[in-house]
Structure 1
Amino acid sequence: MTLWMSCTRRLPAIALVACMTLVTAAHADDANPLTRMSLEYLMNIEVTTVSKQPERVQNAAAAVYVLTREEIRRSGASTIPDALRLVPGVNVAQINANSWAVSIRGFNSRFANKLLVMIDGRSIYSPLFSGVFWDRHSVPIEEIDRIEVVRGPGGTLWGANAVNGVINIITRHSSETQGQQAEFSVGTEKAGGLSLRQGASIGDEATYRLSAQFDGYNETKLPDGSGANDQWENGQANLRVDWTPTVDDEILIESGYSRVMAGDRHTQPSLSFPYSTLRNGDIDRYGAFVMGRWNHQVNEASDVSLQGFVDHRYMDIDTPIAEEYRTTADLQAQHGIKLGAKTNLTWGAGYRAIFSDIQTGDFSLDAAPESENIFVYNVFAQASRRFFDDQVELTLGSKLEHHSVSGTEIQPSARALWNVTSRHAVWTAVSTAARTPSTVENTGTVRNIVVPPGTLTNPSPLPLVPSIEGDKSLDAERVTAYEAGYHGQISETVSLDVAGFINSYTDLLLDSDVGVSSINTNYGTPFIELPISINNKAEATTYGFEFSGLWQARDNWRLRAGYAWLHEDIKAPAGAEGNAPEHQLTLQSFYDIDENWRFDTVFRFVDNLENAGADAYLNMDARLSWSPNDSIEVALTGRNLLDSGYLEYGNERADTPLPTASEVDRSVLLTMTMKF
């Protein structure tokens, strides 16, 4: 870590030398000014996450939002969570420098367990706590083609854990990133970054992209002004190869390695005085994956695809002391066929094996057994048919999935879309989805609180420790969602997208049963253990709507607006509600000053999080960029300009070891990108 920080202090000089060397660079591979991204182009972007087949956003019977690479880059976002702030209905709250809470339609937490996240269709969902370690998956912004966000259940196609939404981060075809690129950045929050990319052809049929990225982030502050010990650095290398051996075949091969080293600070329970301490520690995470996909066009009416990946992850943390080794092997097959002129059928099957080994070193977190193998099998089918001169499309489908621990789940859905005109469409859907319990919920024991002896709560002479215990007999959580929406282009310059929903949840793992206390002597110091068993007794209803609008005010000025309203009614113990904001508002402006200068801003309002201990806030980001030619861009980004030193997500959950929340600061970042 010392070596990296030393390097970042020299980064401005490195960037200056590189600029002098490359200033005569030749061509650009992806110039995409605002004036070339027409409203019609944005309305006709194809998405694949909704139906596993390419379709226009206008024809998708779902609340789908596409975040383009240009919008992400011009927002100034340097991480995936920051980019997702732009999507209506997605709640992003930064916990500290290296941790985020990200969810869709409620139930937000550090490990939001009702959201499936993928990169190029490869799941990055972690079964340990049921969530995503966002710092492990820092995709370079320039390599992202788009981010498809589907709000609402996606279990029929994507399986368990796609309960409230699906996020698919789709990277660019390697043929679009030919040549070399270097990007340097230095700032206050992000201490420094270096990204290098090389792309070239392999004969006439294949192209490749090889990239490496190194980022370092500074420590933030706790509300009392002390350091949060949350500084972190990320290094990664990625390879993508796209091969077209015949006109009917496409082969994709991806592989990558990443490593994250970070500081950490937790409230650590203890069996001796003072029974709770704020403790600094370190986190070391690394991972590697290889993925392959083969798409074959059998004929005009039939296509098949086969995708598989192997992913290995390791995590070592000091607070609590724990190590996790996990290897995931996944294979999915799919067949799409046209049955006549009006009917399409997509069906397939999949298999996933997860091999995990968890080793713990203190009483605050246990896992028994330490080693476990999990197997998941699935089959799915979805058929759509058009009626009434192709204006109405009805889609029915279901997935049957068997999990070796939680059992079998059936996840059906029905969707209908009416293209009122070529510019206006309304849709409705009824669907179900399931969320399988995490490893900790199945086999773990979490002890985050120690009640001192000789107190009113615990008059005994021994410490009292509530132990939240997992159970392998837990059922999967389930949701039934009712949705309706509208996609439309109001005029040549204005488009609107509106979606409303009612979600009914059953078998939620938010309640518990208190058992009979006993004396535990397994950790040197005897203590009274009070077992608290998780159960499936909680229920909830949520409802709300999301709105997004796009206005091409002028040829050189575009405005995007997004608003989301959410109401949660959770029938569970106090503290289950209030982790997601009731109101969110975003306004994004893209302005081309001239051919070389651009000025972009993002305003955000996020309502208070009553249970998560965060007040409502209004903030603004701004980015000014200069491109003297197609090969060089210099950008200055300011984030959180209206406020500094506020919490976006405050307290800790009792059932999951979480880092101490720190304040989000005002920051500045200078970035230089060069292509040659």
Structure 2
Amino acid sequence: MSMDLDELTSQNVTVTTAAKKEQPLNDVPAAIYVITNEQIRRSGVRSIAEALALAPGVQVTKLSEFNWQVSLRGLNETLFNKLLVMVDGRSVFSPLMSGTFWHTIDTILDDIDRIEILRGSAGTMWGGNATNGVINIITKNSNETLGQFFEIAHGQYNYKEADYRYGFQLNDFTTARLSVKGVQSDYYSFNDDEWNNYNVAFRTDYIEDDQFLTFQLGGYHTKSEHSSWYTYDFLEQPLHPLYPDTAIVANPSLLKDYSRGVYSSLNFGKTLDDTQYKGSFWIDNNSRTEPTANGQYSTVNGDLLMIKQLNEQNELTMGIGARYTRLKIPTAKANYYTGMQPYQRLAYERVQREQIYNVFSQLETQLTDKLTSSLGVKVEHFTRNDTTELQPQLRLHYKATDDHQLWTGIGRAVVTPSAVDSTTDMFVLGNAIASIPNCDLSQHPSCVGMYPAMNYTAGNKDMDNESVVTWDAGYRGKITDTFSLDATVFYSEYDNLRMIDDGRWICTYGYCEDGTTLPGGTAIFRNSYSDNLTAQSYGAELALFWQPSEAINFNTSYSFIDTQAECDSRYRTCDTYLNGGYKALYDHQPNHYGSIQMMWTLNPQWQIDWWLKHKGSVSSSLEYYEAPAITTLDLRVAWQQKHSWPLVEFVVDGLGSSTYEDMPNKAPLEETVFMRLSWTTL
């Protein structure tokens, strides 16, 4: 391993996510976990999202061969808006769907230095969306990737991958690298829908004495094709008056989903006497054509930070930041009822603009030789809904000995207001069963027909921001020379969570309450988003590192998470997700998550690694939420004769697993086998 047990439990390990500065992991008064490059490589994963399941508190759901759903500490949703995901401090949050599209950060895994996962409210340092935590993917400095790196892989379901990296020295203080990655595969294991993803990245680093500068530039292009797709044409009148369902014509189609993006970032810093100055500036432009996330957005972001040592006991951190985002989201077309998608999201206004401004401060005080406090607050203003939020936190760290630490803290964080639930509408096609007017029973067996229908969920601009207050406490310690433990308990109170209010039929038999008429006797059921849902979540997280011998390492994590949601009893749809409510969704999620990774180095040439993952069952009177427990085993066997030779890896994902779903009503998954070859030249 690149990090042995002693390093994982000593001050040799530094992290930057907790306080926007380098500090020993043992000095962090919060729940933080570091996934090393070695853990990623020896897990056999093909993506960043899959590797996150190594950490406690993180729930990773595989939706297809290359699509994932990632959440932290419960409230699991398709696109999780309560987690801030960054690459080298650059947010990859998508305002098109208020979450993270994980394929957009498909970098070469060997370029990753580590992944820092901060669990709990981090609003003071990071602001909006850092409500349940922060995932910061930190790539290697270019001076660590000199020379050439090649990687190719091939496996089941038409999986093919080719990666190339070239690192070079510009002068005594400056290095750079260029990385290119391409992946092709079937999107699902059960059909040949095509998936293509290409990523290119450039990074250069300048380091001299007490100053540094990092510049990055990159982009991605993703294309997926889905053959089992239909578009729909609505006829003015049914083809047969006694069979109203003939008013809609289904046209077999091929859905081509394109996702593209480019970005550029600049990070710099300088130390003068007892003060550190840091800054970051990044811009990006992203677009997607998938019907529920169709649109384009551009973001410009700037942050400045100062860390000043006031005296021996006090260190002050102050910062300021601003973000500007411009979105372009489709509006309804003139011939709306021709070539309709089965579901799609449309905007009130095609072009939308929003700004976020923030200022924050945190004081770290050495109260005694063993006790340290951190007190801070961020003030953040969102122009989308013209709100200003306070996000304070208080944390205490007690260092009993160099090997044993205790910590606790409480903080508040908010979710960034989004276009998804405020200024866009969601349309889903379906059917409505109703009596056929003027029907003769002698001509029709029941005089009941199936009419074209649409479920229309309207955005709501008048909602308060989602927020959470979290208290957590933990212990971090080295029990023996071969065993360490990291344990956390937490409790969270959520307010203003999104749900869907009770709706009503605004159009029946093609006639609407505003006097307009629709083709084909179409019916429309209208509801809207609201902020009337609250929730409480509590749990425990455990991480164990055990090194029984120099050749074997075990990395184990376990999480217990329980969430209970509440809403006003007047809302009928609160309990039923099929009708638009979210209470049942939050209440019926697995409570238990476990992971055991074993890394066994047989000799300098051979490695055998396995990774056991477990997700608890869900019992419910609602059949939609019933889910069995899922346990999978991944196996990796690797051989490398010597460092100058290629590394050959044989990987089985889900060894021996029969067909299963990682979440109810999602795509079936199966055992996947592939081989990977990689080699480095200096």
Please give the range of the TM-score, normalised by the shorter of the 2 chains.
0.7 to 0.9
Matched, 1:297 2:294: no
Paired with 1:249 and 1:153, the residues of 2 have a C-alpha distance of: 31
Q: What is the Cα deviation at residue 374 of structure 1?
A: 0.7
Structure 1 residues 423, 590: closer, same or farther in 2, change over 3 A? Answer: same
Q: Contact 2:18–2:28 (CA<8 Å) still a contact in 1? A: yes
| Per-residue Cα deviation, 1:623-655 (whole angstroms, up to 9, x for no partner) | 11111111321111111003131101233xxxx
- Pick the aligned partner of 1:615 from 628, 637, 642: 628
Bigger shift: residues 181-190 or 531-540: 181-190
Q: SS of the residue aligned with 2:640?
A: strand
Q: Contact 1:357–1:370 (CA<8 Å) still a contact in 2? A: yes
- Give the number of the structure with larger relative contact order, counting CA–CA contacts within 8 Å between residues 6 or more apart: 1
Q: Which residue of 1 aligns with 2:239?
A: none
- Pick the aligned partner of 2:304 from 333, 349, 359: 333
Q: Which residue of 2 aligns with 1:308?
A: 281
Q: What is the Cα deviation at residue 189 of structure 1?
A: 4.3
| Per-residue Cα deviation, 1:368-405 (whole angstroms, up to 9, x for no partner) | 1111011110001111101222x111111111110111
One-letter amino acid of the counterpart of residue 289, structure 2: D
Paired with 1:181 and 1:523, the residues of 2 have a C-alpha distance of: 60
Q: Which residue of 1 aligns with 2:553?
A: 558
Alignment of 1:653-668 (within 5 A): 661-668=666-673
Q: Which residue of 2 aligns with 1:142?
A: 110
One-letter amino acid of the counterpart of residue 46, structure 1: T
Q: Which residue of 2 aligns with 1:47?
A: 15
Q: What is the Cα deviation at residue 279 of structure 1?
A: 6.7
Matched, 1:591 2:581: no
| Per-residue Cα deviation, 1:544-590 (whole angstroms, up to 9, x for no partner) | 00001011110111111111001110114123325642101111101
Paired with 1:403 and 1:230, the residues of 2 have a C-alpha distance of: 40
Q: Contact 2:9–2:478 (CA<8 Å) still a contact in 1? A: no
Paired with 1:366 and 1:260, the residues of 2 have a C-alpha distance of: 22
Q: Which residue of 1 aligns with 2:195?
A: 232
Matched, 1:543 2:538: yes
Q: Which residue of 1 aligns with 2:78?
A: 110
Q: What is the Cα deviation at residue 440 of structure 1?
A: 1.8
Q: Which residue of 1 aligns with 2:241?
A: none
Matched, 1:626 2:623: no
One-letter amino acid of the counterpart of residue 75, structure 1: S
Stretches of structure 2 that go unaligned for 5 or more consecutive residues are 235-244, 334-339, 437-446, 568-573, 576-583
Q: SS of the residue aligned with 1:136?
A: helix
Bigger shift: residues 521-530 or 258-267: 521-530
Paired with 1:482 and 1:79, the residues of 2 have a C-alpha distance of: 32
Aligned residues with identical type, % of pairs: 28
Q: Which residue of 2 aligns with 1:645?
A: 659
Q: SS of the residue aligned with 1:577?
A: helix
Q: What is the Cα deviation at residue 413 of structure 1?
A: 0.6
Q: CA RMSD in A?
A: 2.3
One-letter amino acid of the counterpart of residue 181, structure 1: F
Paired with 2:263 and 2:625, the residues of 1 have a C-alpha distance of: 34
- Pick the aligned partner of 1:207 from 175, 178, 187: 175
| Per-residue Cα deviation, 1:395-447 (whole angstroms, up to 9, x for no partner) | 11111110111311111111111011111011111111111332120111112
Paired with 2:484 and 2:51, the residues of 1 have a C-alpha distance of: 21
Q: What is the Cα deviation at residue 61 of structure 1?
A: 0.8
Q: What is the Cα deviation at residue 516 of structure 1?
A: 6.6
- Pick the aligned partner of 1:399 from 354, 375, 378: 378
Q: Contact 1:551–1:560 (CA<8 Å) still a contact in 2? A: yes
Q: What is the Cα deviation at residue 323 of structure 1?
A: 3.5
Matched, 1:517 2:506: yes
Bigger shift: residues 122-131 or 257-266: 257-266
Q: What is the Cα deviation at residue 464 of structure 1?
A: 4.0
Alignment of 1:10-409 (within 5 A): 33=1, 37-41=4-8, 43-44=10-11, 45-189=13-157, 191-221=159-189, 227=191, 230-244=193-207, 246-264=208-226, 273=245, 280-299=254-273, 301-317=274-290, 319=291, 323-359=294-330, 362=340, 364-389=344-369, 391-406=370-385, 407-409=387-389
Which TM-score applies when normalising by structure 2?
A: 0.87
Paired with 1:182 and 1:194, the residues of 2 have a C-alpha distance of: 8
Paired with 2:362 and 2:14, the residues of 1 have a C-alpha distance of: 19
One-letter amino acid of the counterpart of residue 239, structure 1: F
Paired with 1:489 and 1:327, the residues of 2 have a C-alpha distance of: 46
Structure 1 residues 164, 230: closer, same or farther in 2, change over 3 A? Answer: farther
Q: Contact 1:267–1:276 (CA<8 Å) still a contact in 2? A: no
Structure 1 residues 499, 553: closer, same or farther in 2, change over 3 A? Answer: same
Q: What is the Cα deviation at residue 267 of structure 1?
A: 7.9
Q: Size of the alignment, in residue pairs? A: 623
Paired with 1:612 and 1:256, the residues of 2 have a C-alpha distance of: 40
Q: Contact 1:437–1:474 (CA<8 Å) still a contact in 2? A: no
Q: Which residue of 2 aligns with 1:498?
A: 487
Paired with 2:152 and 2:450, the residues of 1 have a C-alpha distance of: 59
| Per-residue Cα deviation, 1:79-114 (whole angstroms, up to 9, x for no partner) | 011101111110000112232110001111220111
Q: SS of the residue aligned with 2:420?
A: helix
Q: Which residue of 1 aligns with 2:578?
A: none
Q: Contact 1:213–1:236 (CA<8 Å) still a contact in 2? A: yes
Q: SS of the residue aligned with 2:312?
A: coil
Q: Contact 1:505–1:539 (CA<8 Å) still a contact in 2? A: yes
Q: SS of the residue aligned with 2:267?
A: strand
Bigger shift: residues 267-276 or 595-604: 267-276
Alignment of 1:572-587 (within 5 A): 572=567, 573-574=574-575, 575-578=584-587, 580-587=589-596
Q: Contact 1:487–1:498 (CA<8 Å) still a contact in 2? A: yes
Q: Which residue of 2 aligns with 1:655?
A: none
Which TM-score applies when normalising by structure 1?
A: 0.88
Q: Contact 1:264–1:282 (CA<8 Å) still a contact in 2? A: yes
Structure 1 residues 633, 571: closer, same or farther in 2, change over 3 A? Answer: same
